[in-house]
Amino acid sequence: MSVQDLIDVAQNEVGYLEKETNSQLDSKTANAGDKNYTKYARDYAAWGFGNYQGQPWCDVFVSWCFKEAFDDDALVASHDAYCPYHALWFKNQGRWCTANPQIGDVIFFKDSSGAAVHTGIIYNIDKSKIYTIEGNTSSAPGVVANGGCVAQKSYMLNYSSILGFGRPNYPVESINTETTDEEIEMRYNTIAEVPAYAQFSVQKRIDAGALADPQNLDLSDDMIRDWVVSDRYFKKIGLLDDNLNLKI
């Protein structure tokens, strides 16, 4: 298991809306409301970590993602449901940073008193921004600590509301979480240059005529990663077959 497994789990949840009641918890959009009912709290309780259904769930979402990606996730992060306690756990483990974040870090945001008030998972970093996946937020700019959905967000590296970063104890075989300048600037112009894990997804788009010039693709890492994650998700929910063809 790797950092990318965690990111895949989190990205597959983007668009999930909290529920009005304790019903239709597995649907991304059905029974949407503002009562803080989620499948994450349901599963969290079933795993024996406490019943937090109907309560703010950003940290439950983070813990849920780790449990899904790493079954024995106590070795990687912790079973927390409250941002201040989760941040304190990282500090007590000597895994707390206030600079130089890495992909796979758990990011914590602070309120005006300096207390941890919101959290998420870092899935990408470039020269100026941090990119996160967060539960119980919204797509609106800035920290939204009770927004009701799972969303991808971005912040400047020096964003004033960032409290710090918890660095999970990922397995040794995990991917390199440091993003280099070369990786940030990498562009792929032909299918042969595209990393093996993404070639099938890219080739399907070339064959479909979705890319104007197959000899000058000009694709970034972010673009091909998003395509692969999307394909995996639509296969998972049964809309695509193994060849990424629509089944409907």
The band of 150, judged by pLDDT with boundaries at 50, 70 and 90, is: very high
* Structure-token pair, residue 243: 């060849």
Q: What is the pLDDT of residues 89-116, one digit of tens each?
A: 999 989 999 999 999 999 999 999 999 9
DSSP per position, the chain: --HHHHHHHHHHTTT-B-BSSSS-TTSSSTTB-SS-B-HHHHHHHHTTS---TTS--HHHHHHHHHHHH-TTGGGTS----SHHHHHHHHHHTT-EESSS--TTPEEEEE-TTS-EEEEEEEEEE-SSEEEEEEEEE-SSSS--TT-SEEEEEEEETT-TTEEEEE-----TTSPP-PPPHHHHH-EE-SGGGS-HHHHHHHHHHHHTT-SS-TT---EEHHHHHHHHHHHHHHHHTTSB-TTS-B--
CA 99/CA 157 separation, integer angstroms:
9
The tokens of 208 are what? 């479909």
Q: Rg of the Cα trace of the chain?
A: 19
pLDDT at 76: 65
Residue 236 has what pLDDT? Answer: 65
Q: Cβ of 175: how many Cβ atoms within 10 Å? A: 13
Q: What is the pLDDT of residues 152-209, one digit of tens each?
A: 999 999 999 999 999 988 865 444 444 444 444 567 888 888 877 788 888 888 888 8
Q: List, for residues 174-183, the tens digit of each pLDDT value.
A: 444 444 444 4
Residue 44 has pLDDT above 70, yes or no: yes
Report which of 69, 68, 116 is spatially closest to residue 89, judged by C-alpha positions. Answer: 116
Mean pLDDT, range 8-23, rounded to an integer = 96
**Model pLDDT for residues 47-86, shown as the tens digit of each residue:** 888 999 999 999 999 999 999 988 765 556 677 899 999 9
Average pLDDT over the chain reads 85
pLDDT confidence bin for 229, thresholds 50/70/90 = confident
